[in-house]
Amino acid sequence: MNDLKKRFTDLGVIPADIMIPEKGVDLEKWAVVACDQFTSERNYWEEASDYVGEAPSTLRLIFPECYLGDSDGKQRIEDINKKMKEYVDRGIFRTYKDCFFLIKRSCGNASRLGLMAALDLENYSWEKTSRTPIRATEGTILSRIPPRKEIRKDAPLEIPHIMVLISDAEKSVIEKMYDKHEKLQKVYDTDLMKNGGHVEAWLVDSDEDKNTIASAFEKLRAGLDPQNPLLFAMGDGNHSFATAKSCWEDIKKTLTPEEIKTHPARYCLVELENIFDPGLVFEPIHRVFFNVPEDVFLDELRKTAESIDFETVKCRNCIAERLRDQSTQGFGYCTEDKHVYVRLHNPKAFIAAGTLQKVIDALLEKGYEVDYIHGADVTDKLGQEKGNIGLFLPAIDKTTFFDTIVSDGALPRKTFSMGEANEKRYYMEARRIR
Q: Give me the domains of the chain, ranges plus CATH numbers.
A: 3-280+420-432 (no CATH), 282-418 (3.30.1760.10)
Per-residue confidence (pLDDT) for residue 97, from 0 to 100: 98
Per-residue confidence (pLDDT) for residue 1, from 0 to 100: 60
Per-residue confidence (pLDDT) for residue 375, from 0 to 100: 80
Per-residue confidence (pLDDT) for residue 228, from 0 to 100: 93
Per-residue confidence (pLDDT) for residue 132, from 0 to 100: 95
- Map residue 237 onto helix, strand or coil: coil
Per-residue confidence (pLDDT) for residue 129, from 0 to 100: 85
Does the pLDDT at position 78 exceed 80?
Answer: yes
Confidence of residue 268 (pLDDT cuts 50, 70, 90): very high
- Residue 227 has what DSSP assignment? T
Neighbours of 186 (CB within 10 A): 12
- Map residue 54 onto helix, strand or coil: coil
Does the pLDDT at position 141 exceed 80?
Answer: no
Section 414-429 average pLDDT: 87
Averaged pLDDT score across all residues of the chain: 93
Section 336-357 average pLDDT: 93
Confidence of residue 213 (pLDDT cuts 50, 70, 90): very high
Per-residue confidence (pLDDT) for residue 116, from 0 to 100: 98
> pLDDT tens digit string along 367-421?
999 988 878 898 999 999 999 999 999 988 888 889 888 887 887 777 888 878 8
What is the identity of the amino acid at 400? T
Confidence of residue 322 (pLDDT cuts 50, 70, 90): very high
Section 152-178 average pLDDT: 95
Per-residue confidence (pLDDT) for residue 38, from 0 to 100: 86
The residues, ordered by sequence, that sit 6+ positions from 12 with a Cβ below 8 Å of its Cβ are 119, 120, 122, 123, 133, 134, 231, 232
Residue 285 and residue 413 in contact, taking contact as beta carbons nearer than 8 Å: no
Taking Cα atoms as reference points, which of 236, 237, 285 lies closest to residue 415?
Answer: 285
pTM (2 d.p.): 0.85
Selected residue with higher pLDDT from 190 and 353: 190
Per-residue confidence (pLDDT) for residue 303, from 0 to 100: 97
Does the pLDDT at position 434 exceed 70?
Answer: yes
Instruction: Report percent pLDDT > 90 for the chain.
Output: 76
Does the pLDDT at position 282 exceed 90?
Answer: no
Per-residue confidence (pLDDT) for residue 161, from 0 to 100: 94
Q: Which of 41-45, 191-195, 208-212 has the lowest mean pLDDT?
A: 41-45
Q: Which residues of 268-291 are buried (b: 16+ CB within 10 A; e: fewer)?
A: bbbbbbbbbbebbbbbbbbbbbee
Distance of CA 406 to the CA centre of its chain: 18
* Enclosing H/E stretch for 91: none
Plot region of 197 (φ>0 → left; ψ -120 to 50 → alpha; else → beta)? left
Taking Cα atoms as reference points, which of 1, 70, 61, 56 lies closest to residue 25?
Answer: 56
Sign, CA dihedral 356-362-366-372, equals positive
